[in-house]
Amino acid sequence: MAGSSIANWYADGVNYHSDGLPHEPKRTHLNRLHKLLAENQEILLSDSIQYGKEIVIDNNQNTFAYVYNNPSDSTQNLTFLYNMENKNITLKFKGNSYIMPNESVSIIDNAGKELYNSAKINKTGLATKRVFSTLYSGQDLIWSSWTEDNTKRNDKPITNKTPLEQLKLSNNTVEQMYYFTNFTLSSSYSSGDVKLKFMGYTSNRYMIFIDNKYIDTKWDYTHDSYAVNFTFTLNTAFESGKEYTLNVMSASQGMDNRNGRGVATGMGPNAQDKKGLVGLVQLTDNGKVIKDLTENNWSQFIGLSGESLNVAQNPTVVTFKSPADTNNPLTWYKTSFKTQIYNESTVLLMDIGDNTGSENNKGLIRGRFYINGVDMGHYNNIVQENKIMVQRYYFIPRDMLNENGGENILIVFDEMNVVNVSNMNIVLSTFIVP
């Protein structure tokens, strides 16, 4: 489900950021370590591995040293001094004192000089401050939109008496799956009287539609794997004997790989993660079941209709309307921008907007984006309790762009109906010395 290019910043803690820019001061700090080890390789490779030969300091098993000696030159040695305590301490070793930050390692030369400490970082002169400049504002881009339509697909539905678990059909190759069933009720009900109850799963979003009218969405972001009961109030007035169509859109929020939790030999496929509808589906009134839809004959579509039609690669297969209608969920948005020249120390990013404020001021919410038909992966506006977004900016590799000022097509699919495309931006980013 990741996409042809990975724009997410889930792993952004190494020497280079996920967008290719140097991660300072980490890059330079580790570069200094690598250079130091290379300069002293003769000492390190001449002696045996010192693990298990710790020299304990001050009778504390959490403070110790590894000493490497050059057998051919007794004046050459290199010491790795360890403070594994969760506090700063001063260690005395061979007549010298060393101020050691908590859980850090120092490298000491034969003269007793501290050459390096893993926690003492010199940021002087390093470009550690990321800055952004807006290249194209979402307000200035010309947007059009097309909302999902399952009557226009290149595939046929998979039918079954009961709803089928999502991953068995999708093999986790797409995020979304649609469930459809038709029903009638033997009595009439006022809007809000009838509730839909079903068994779903953790890390799953569900959207409910009655006769293609959007009702509501609910989700569970729990990073685990177990069944969850969902209840939706159907704000629809139902007439006795009239046929209605229920559509449940299921969107996977990610797979749980168990990480060794609760899985034992012989547990079999039932121990694996599941998505979609996985149990009873019922309509209730005041807690009483008025219609059991579990064995009501269901149709399932794997993936979005836009994916079936390859809308991102060939947007002319559907009619994008302008101006964009941002009031509908499950909508594809299209715009374009020209390639501009920027240097190697600068990257191009899609800014989905500041989503820490009110609903009316949000930008893009949750979906995927495509540059010139290439799937760039998933975006999400998850906001942490401290009002900081998990990820606001998404990388656009320069080799995805058309050269020499060419026109680039940006297509965004967003699940939600509170989208404001004018609040997103195309920005340039680099790092500067503070």
- The tens-digit pLDDT sequence of the chain (434 residues) is 445 566 677 667 889 998 989 999 999 999 999 999 999 999 999 999 999 999 999 999 999 999 999 999 988 999 999 999 999 999 999 999 999 999 999 999 999 999 999 999 999 999 999 999 999 999 999 999 999 999 999 999 999 999 999 999 999 899 999 999 999 999 999 999 999 999 999 999 999 999 999 999 999 988 888 899 999 999 999 999 999 999 999 999 888 765 445 554 455 666 678 999 999 999 999 999 999 999 999 999 999 999 999 999 999 999 999 999 999 999 999 999 999 999 999 999 999 999 887 766 789 999 999 999 999 999 988 887 788 888 999 999 999 999 989 999 999 999 999 899 999 999 999 999 99
In this prediction, residue 361 carries a pLDDT of: 76
In this prediction, residue 121 carries a pLDDT of: 96
Where in the chain is CATH 2.60.120.260? 129-147+307-432, 158-303
Give CA–CA dist 119/29, Å, rounded: 10
What residues form DSSP beta bridges with 198?
230, 281
Per-position b or e across 24-47, b if 16+ CB within 10 A of its CB: bbbbbbeeeeeeeeeebeebeeeb
Find, among 220, 178, 180, 183, the residue nearest to 202 by Cα.
220
CATH of domain 129-147+307-432: 2.60.120.260
Give, as one character, the DSSP assignment of residue 286: T
Q: How would DSSP label each residue in 218-269?
A: EEE--SS--EEEEEEE---PBPTT--EEEEEEEEE-----GGGSS--TT--G
What pTM, to 2 d.p., does this model score?
Answer: 0.87
For the four alpha carbons of 415, 254, 175 and 246, in that order, the dihedral sign comes to negative
Give CA–CA dist 417/414, Å, rounded: 8
Give CA–CA dist 393/4, Å, rounded: 18
Beta strand ranges found along 186-226 (DSSP E): 194-201, 204-210, 213-220
- What Rg, from alpha-carbon coordinates, does the chain have? 29
Topology, domain 158-303:
Jelly Rolls (2.60.120)
Give CA–CA dist 236/193, Å, rounded: 8
Residue 366: which H helix or E strand, with range? strand 366-371
Query: By three-state DSSP, how is residue 107 classified?
Result: strand
